[in-house]
Amino acid sequence: MSLMPFSSPLALLGLLSAIPLIILYMIRPKPKDLPFPSTAFIREGEAKPTASLNRLITDPLFWVQLLVIIFLVLAAAGPYTEARGTQGEHLVVVIDLSASMEASYSDAKEIFLRYASGEERVSIVLAESIPIVSLREGNGEQARTTIESLSPRAVSADLSAGMMMAKSLLGAEGGQILVISDFISWTGDDPEVTRRLIESEGTGVVFVDSGGGGDNAGIVGGWIIDSGGVLNYSCLIRNYGRTRTVPITIEGPWGGTSTNSRTIDSGGESYLTFDAFPGVNSVTLEVDDAISSDNRAYVYSPELRPRRVLYVGDDGPVLSALRSISTVDVSRTGDYGGFDLVVIENGTADGELNRYVYGGGKVVYIASNDSASPEYLPVRIAGVVNESAPLWTRNPVFAEDLHLDEVEVYSHLQASPRPGSVTIAEANAVPVVSYWRLGGGTVVYMGLSDERSDFYLRPEYPIFWYEMIGWLTNVPEASDSNRRTGEIVRLGETMVVDAAGERISTDVLLLDRVGIYRFAGRTIAANIYDPVESNLLGGRTLNLGSFTGGETAEKVIKKDLSPWLVLIAAGLVVLELAILRRRRES
């Protein structure tokens, strides 16, 4: 006879917790009502060892509590049974959510429901620029609800990456993979090659063509030239259908609009150029065609007014770097509230500065010694480490291309991060550059002083200050504010993002819709700009294949028994409460 298997057998050590329960019942005397004279000694009511052992055996409350402990410990150990089943019980559907699928997504949903109906377990992988698991081993109703909530995104699909993720979801148990796509275009590896690789391991893969096609005109390219205060924007419009006249609307940041039109031959193209002023600008093709996401493009022009910076410190490399930036006006006196940024060297506790930060102000604290450690800093300064150390970039944020790891650090302050802070660079696991959000503002700790490193001698030093000031005061480069869909923006920390009409919370932002994204005072415009995705006249004929028929391979299916044991324990707890209530009433 084989013992019941457990997924976490070490949890059975929890059965030792029954020992204190047994001891408690053996040493606890049972109360007994005895009539006695006020002058008599009570010897008749003394507990006897034999009585406690007898009570341990006969008291139903003891057995109920003991069984609760046993069942909860067994549930924690994860008991399961094994049974033989067939390979086809788990179906993983890889569904193409690229922009071109807008023309055939209703057909794709019907195909999905036809194949998924009657399946015991269905998982769904979304094929976008990166694969995303939308449903893991759900039932038919969950699969239907999930597929109805999805819609194509303004990206290209990496079908092969989605298929490999589907294979990993099947695991050793196996199953079948269904790929639903228009197979017009994709990124990454060839899906046919990936299918042969997966099928060589015994998993069936079926391609189902959702159709697609149709006339389409779209904005397939966009370029920006910064002409000083105004961005000159050019876009390429291409017609993948019959010859047509395309009405065009250009909208500026203050609601002003202008209209235009272009007659574009079948397969032809046309360029459009206009000036984009500070704020959000857009150009829209007023056409009703197969794909809507390429009919509009957004251009965000950052506000280019000079940033006012208050510097509180001695003359040196920091002041020289600030004065070298043409978009920065540096002052050395004034009230904190009148400045976009305050740079302070070796400051101390300052109530006015605290109020400035909590009210939304930005502060860079330059620490060259350990004489002070104000509470508004993202670190606690506790001393000096007088030894060289390599500098490592943990989270680049604004310093991604500055090669901070090449900076030579002679010595550094001993600093420990406060909860909620983000370390940008560190030396021997000690934060050297870090920041945190405090109230409505941001404080940056800068431990790379000229006395302790050669950073100020490097050409990257003024660039570091330029990038940091732009990041803190929300003045990014025009190229950073205008991206292509499919790109990933790492935010450094979890924050709320207004993502093209949807509000999400994330630390890694996938730009998968055309529109405007806003977070932490920043604005990004995302556009598809993909001539391959916009062209529905292409496509490639693939071997669709079929699932393995006839005799299917068997597998071992584990059925978890823990929920049943927890349910039994809950019932015993209810019984225990009933016993206690009855005893109180009697």
Q: What is the pLDDT of residues 537-559, one digit of tens each?
A: 866 666 666 665 434 445 555 67
Mean pLDDT is lowest, of 28-32, 90-94, 450-454, for 28-32
Structure pTM?
A: 0.61
Q: What is the pLDDT of residues 315-372, one digit of tens each?
A: 999 999 999 988 899 999 999 999 999 999 887 777 889 899 999 999 999 998 888 8
Confidence grade of residue 88 (pLDDT, cut at 50, 70, 90): very low
- Residue with token string 């104000």: 374
Task: Give Cβ neighbours of residue 403 (< 8 Å, ≥ 6 apart).
Answer: 460
Q: What is the pLDDT of residues 105-146, one digit of tens each?
A: 999 999 999 888 878 889 999 999 999 999 998 888 889 999
Measured CA to CA, the distance from residue 127 to residue 153 in angstroms comes to: 10
pLDDT, residue 31, reads: 58
Annotation: CATH topology of 307-457: Rossmann fold (3.40.50)
- Residue with token string 């574009």: 264
Q: Assess whether pLDDT exceeds 90 at residue 446.
A: yes
Ramachandran area for residue 259 (φ above 0: left; ψ -120 to 50: alpha; else beta): beta
User: If you average pLDDT over every residue of the chain, what do you get?
Assistant: 85
Establish how many alpha carbons lie within 13 A of residue 258's alpha carbon, considering only the half-sphere containing its beta carbon: 10
Measured CA to CA, the distance from residue 454 to residue 410 in angstroms comes to: 8
Establish how many alpha carbons lie within 13 A of residue 12's alpha carbon, considering only the half-sphere containing its beta carbon: 9
Overall CATH class of domain 85-213+537-559:
alpha beta
Q: Assess whether pLDDT exceeds 90 at residue 432.
A: yes
Measured CA to CA, the distance from residue 406 to residue 111 in angstroms comes to: 55
Task: Identify whether the C-beta of residue 302 lies closer than 8 Å to the C-beta of residue 335.
Answer: no
- Copy the structure tokens of residue 487: 């790109």
Measured CA to CA, the distance from residue 74 to residue 499 in angstroms comes to: 46
CATH 3.40.50.410 intervals, the chain: 85-213+537-559
What is the phi/psi pair of residue 480, to 5°?
A: -75, -25
CATH 3.40.50.880 intervals, the chain: 307-457
Mean pLDDT is lowest, of 11-25, 395-409, 431-445, 521-535, for 11-25
Task: Give Cβ neighbours of residue 349 (< 8 Å, ≥ 6 apart).
Answer: 372, 374, 375
- Residue with token string 């993948």: 240
pLDDT, residue 549, reads: 46
Measured CA to CA, the distance from residue 121 to residue 142 in angstroms comes to: 10
Q: Assess whether pLDDT exceeds 90 at residue 41.
A: no
Mean pLDDT is lowest, of 34-38, 154-158, 319-323, 420-424, for 34-38
